[in-house]
Amino acid sequence: MLGKLQDLSPKKQHIYSIIFSLLCMTIATGISSIYYYYVNENSANIALIFILFIIIISCNTRGYFYGIFCSLFTVVWFNYVYTYPVFMLNLSASGYPITFLVMTTIAVIISTLTSHLVLQSQMVKEQEHRLAEADGEKMRANLLRAISHDLRTPLSGIIGNSSMYTNGHASMCDAEKLEIVKNIQEDATWLFNMVENLLTVTRINNDDMTIKTNIESVEEVVGEAAMRVCKRHPDSSVNVDCPMDLIMIPMDAILIEQVIINLLENALKHSGKKNTVDLIVRDTPTNVIFTIRDYGNGIPEKKLNSLFDGTPYTPSQNADVLKGIGIGLVICKTIVTAHQGTIIGQNHDKGAEFVFTLPKLKEESL
């Protein structure tokens, strides 16, 4: 009820509140009159009926005003209609002043309390909204940090190599020229992959970090991702282990494919020499679990806690080959989070593994 009320403009909210209050008061009067007509004795019950409706009004109108106004009105109306002498204001009859006083106090207190409650729940909602916004901001900041670091390196490579070629190609031998062009090609390919990554993220709705999902077959997405990676790295092998049962879950297939590609490429690049990666899919009643496991050097202990926040990853042995894990992982995290899934990176006995989960659709909505 309140959520609906908040969507309206302030003027409409007031109009709504007035109509609502009038309606409630009419109903209360109606019920009370019937009660009064048939029972006629216990006017305290009539007071209770009015108090009940004051609570309802306070909960469903904007601000304190309507609740308090209705409670004051009720006291006068109660005195006028339901106490002896009927249809006359009389504050002096024995016992009545106390009833009125207590009723006024109760009504005012309740209406203030409930209005306060309504305001508070509004504030909590706003707070939550602000927190969610801050999360989105943080993700964007992480991405930007990763981008500015990761894009500069290959660009300097391309600019450096190409200027070397234009300035000195006359004195170079073919092997040197080929080397330079190959370097440029490598950097450009890498840049392209990154840009592709960033473009996929634009599929995520910027305001509330949501995505458009379709029911997709897990084995198709996994298979396609593995095939793309194998095409790019012909000397490597990806072992896909997928359950024999067909698993269909809601996802944005292009985004999830990107996550798997990123994790597989990271595994191939950073694991050291061994070019074997396992991609394991497991089905649980609520989730589908994807594990990308390599058999290399593992993740350095001190990096484990900051894998997904966009700071560059540079183990000491061969720092220059290892660019780009920054953006890749931030993007994975962004995508998986947008799917209401989780992602972690950890070490196992013989190397590193990344595990991400995607929630299944609930049975009844299938």
Partner 1 sequence: MTSKLNVLLIEDDKNICAFVSKFLNQNGYRVTTAHTGKEGLSLAASICPHIILLDLGLPDIDGCDVLRQIRNWSSIPIIIISARTKEHDKVDALDLGADDYITKPFGIDELMARIRTSLRHSRSNTLEKTYKALDLEINFEKRMIFLNGEQIHLTQIEYQLLTLLAENSGKVLTYNQIMSTIWGPYVDSNNQILRVNMANIRRKIEKNPAQPEYVFTEIGIGYRMLENENL
Identify the CA nearest to 61 among candidates 99, 102, 118: 118
Phi and psi for 358 in degrees, rounded to 5? -125, 135
Footprint of partner 1 on residues 279-298 (CB under 8 A)?
281
Q: Which helix (H) or strand (E) holds 189?
A: helix 174-201
CB of 177 to partner 1, least distance (A): 17
Q: Which of residues 172-201 bind partner 1 (CB under 8 A)?
A: 192, 196, 199-200
Q: How many other CB atoms are there within 10 angstroms of residue 68's CB atom? A: 20
- The amino acid at residue 283 is D
Closest C-alpha to 336, from 270, 287, 275: 287
Token pair listed for 356: 């991400």
Q: b/e map of 175-187 (b: 16 or more CB within 10 Å)?
A: eeeeebeebbeeb
Q: Which of 222, 249, 263, 329 binds partner 1 (CB under 8 A)?
A: 222
Residue 257 engages partner 1 in binding (rule: CB under 8 A): yes
- For partner 1, the binding residue among 117, 144, 246, 319 (CB under 8 A) is 246
Q: From residue 138 to residue 177, what is the string marking binding to partner 1 with x (rule CB under 8 A)?
A: ----------------------------------------
Which of 176, 224, 283, 309 is close enough to bind partner 1 by CB under 8 A?
224
Distance of closest approach, residue 135 Cβ to partner 1, in angstroms: 24
Q: What gap in Å lies between CA 67 and CA 242, rounded to an integer?
A: 62
DSSP 304: G
> Which one, 253 or 322, has the nearer CB to partner 1?
253
Q: Which stretch binds partner 1 (CB under 8 A): 27-35, 51-59, 216-224, 334-342?
A: 216-224
Nearer to partner 1, 103 or 201 (CB): 201
Which residues, in sequence order, are CB contacts of 146 under 8 Å at separation 6+?
A: 310, 311, 312, 326, 327, 330
Asked whether position 56 contacts partner 1 by CB under 8 A, the answer is no
> Does 226 engage in binding with partner 1 (CB under 8 A)?
yes
Binding site for partner 1 (CB under 8 A): 192, 196, 199-200, 202-203, 215-217, 219-224, 226-227, 238, 240-242, 244, 246, 248, 253-254, 257, 281
